[in-house]
Structure 1
Amino acid sequence: MIKKHEIYKTDKWNMMTVEVQGRYIVLREISDQWGEDTHTFISRPAMMQWVHNRFTRESFKDNEEEYERIIAAFKQV
């Protein structure tokens, strides 16, 4: 059984989803700048390490609520 989580979606070109496929976690990032990028993780701690590198608190200085919402969504996976 595949469990799918939508992390964020601004439109059909800017979104991020996470699918739990057995013991693998597949993260798909779709952006109008870079196209689709897929990352596969074997554990939640590995995924969270990537998340904290990808979404730094400094890059959300002006929007702390958005940062907290994204991190909380990943913690629900």
Structure 2
Amino acid sequence: MIKKHEIYKTDKWNMMTVEVQGRYIVLREISDQWGEETHTFMSRPAMMQWVNNRFNKESYKDNEEEYKNIIAAFKQV
């Protein structure tokens, strides 16, 4: 069974989804800048490490609420 989580979506070009496929976690990031990137993780801690690198708190210092929402959404996976 595949469980799909939508992390955020600003429009059809800027979104991120996470699918739990058995023991794998597949993260798809779609952006108008970079196209689609797919990352596969073997564990939640590995995914969270990537998340903390990708969404560093400094780059969200003007929008801390969005940062908290993104991190909270990942923790729900």
Specify the TM-score bucket, using the shorter chain as the normaliser.
Answer: over 0.9
Query: Could you say which residue in structure 2 is the equivalent of 1:4?
Result: 4
Separation in 1, partners of 2:75, 2:64:
17
Unaligned runs of 5+ in 1: none
TM-score (norm 1): 1.00
Secondary structure of 1:33's partner?
coil
Query: Could you say which residue in structure 1 is the equivalent of 2:27?
Result: 27
Alignment root-mean-square deviation, CA: 0.2
Separation in 2, partners of 1:21, 1:33:
27
- For residues 4-54 of structure 1, the C-alpha deviation after alignment (integer angstroms, 9 at most, x for no partner) is 000000000000000000000000000000000000000000000000000
Q: Shift of residue 72 of structure 1?
A: 0.1
Separation in 1, partners of 2:64, 2:12:
24
Query: Could you say which residue in structure 2 is the equivalent of 1:15?
Result: 15
Separation in 2, partners of 1:64, 1:9:
17
Deviating runs (4+, > 2 A) in structure 1?
none
Residue-pair matches, total: 77
